[in-house]
Amino acid sequence: MAVETMTQPGATDQADPYLSMGQELLALDRQRRNIQRLKVSGVWVALVIILAGGLLQLRIEPGYIIEHAGIVLAGVEWTILVSLVSITFATIIALFGALGRLSNNSIAQGISGFYISVIRGTPLLIQIYIIYLGLPQIGQAFGQLGIPLLSSLLTLSAFQSGVLALSINYGAYMTEIFRAGLQSIPHGQREAALAIGMTRGQMLRRVILPQAIRVIIPDIGNQFIAMQKDSALVSIMGLWEVTFRASRFARRDSKFMEMFILAAAIYWVLTIISSWLQEILERRMRHAYER
């Protein structure tokens, strides 16, 4: 980064007779980095070839993978949908969670602290079971008590359960991210806002949050990448996403390695794409306020 800014026009002294020396050094440096990158990519390719070769030796059927690739790949839609909806809710939960944690109100502090402790202290899988299988049981009890509305409200579809579980779970972890982001804004900003007469709420909304969001957004990206993979757990409820499709065929035809390697590859590619998008986002956030 620092090297590249030096090539900007006007940054170097045009009268310097050794100007070409700087350019040469820059070119050499770039060349060295490119070669390094090429070598690393070579190692990746070699590893993939070795793995693939090994698997083929062990009577893995590539034909079966190719044949079922389309139908498993179709589950990506669900994977992305579940992740996108969940990350949205998780972000909202995290915002309020962080505000609660940082507030002086003892009730808000208590609720958010309790929420984070319980959710981070229990496995996501158990949370999914409780929401998908446990809640309808309570719902039934309400139904027998003559409150059918509550009964149907507590009986969630696989998609709703998955989204609820992932949102609540990630919301708890992201609360800490939001809290750190809000606290990363220099204290002077707070003081300047208060000094011109803002309330705490106005200060948060107008001064702290707009700055904190630039710190937080790249982290939301990281959480989204992690969530795409955790969304595989939703398959236990029979939602037709990648993992569920893969495991269905795997069990039916006893093609476990074929199908799970395929699923793994799909998640991997999804992650690579998301990481790339996230990097762009992060770069844009870093150049804040320079336009």
Partner 1 sequence: MNGEPVVRVENLHLWFGMLHVIRNVSLEVAPQEVVVLIGRSGAGKSTLLRCLNFLEQPSSGSITIDGLRVDIPMGQQPDSRRVRDLRLKTGMVFQEFNLFPHMTALENVIEGLVTVKGMSRDEAIPIGEINLARVGLSDKRDEHPIRLSGGQKQRVAIARALAMEPKVMLFDEPTSALDPELIGEVLSVMKQLAYEGMTMIVVSHEMSFTREVADRVIYMDQGEFIEEGPPDKIFGEASDPRTRQFLERVF
> Contact residues for partner 1 (CB under 8 A)?
186, 188-189, 191-199, 202, 206-207, 210-211, 288-291
Q: Which C-beta is closer to partner 1: that of 160 or that of 189?
A: 189
Return the DSSP state at 101: H
Distance in Å, CB of 107 to partner 1, minimum: 18
- Cα-based angle 11, 12, 13 (whole degrees, multiple of 5): 125
Distance in Å, CB of 211 to partner 1, minimum: 6
Distance in Å, CB of 181 to partner 1, minimum: 14
Q: Which C-beta is closer to partner 1: that of 18 or that of 289?
A: 289
Is the separation of the CB atoms in 120 and 172 below 8 Å? yes
The residue with tokens 């009890």 is 141
CA 213 vs CA 138, 209, 222: distances in Å? 39, 6, 14
The residue with tokens 């982290």 is 219
The count of C-alpha atoms lying within 13 angstroms of the C-alpha of 89, restricted to the half-sphere facing its C-beta, is 17
Distance from C-alpha of 67 to C-alpha of 49, rounded to nearest angstrom: 21
Distance from C-alpha of 183 to C-alpha of 110, rounded to nearest angstrom: 19
Q: Which C-beta is closer to partner 1: that of 85 or that of 194?
A: 194
Is the separation of the CB atoms in 274 and 225 below 8 Å? yes
Q: Which C-beta is closer to partner 1: that of 211 or that of 222?
A: 211
Return the DSSP state at 204: I
Q: Which C-beta is closer to partner 1: that of 198 or that of 226?
A: 198
Distance in Å, CB of 2 to partner 1, minimum: 17
* Residues making up the chain, counted from first to last: 291
Distance in Å, CB of 88 to partner 1, minimum: 23
Q: Which C-beta is closer to partner 1: that of 207 or that of 232?
A: 207
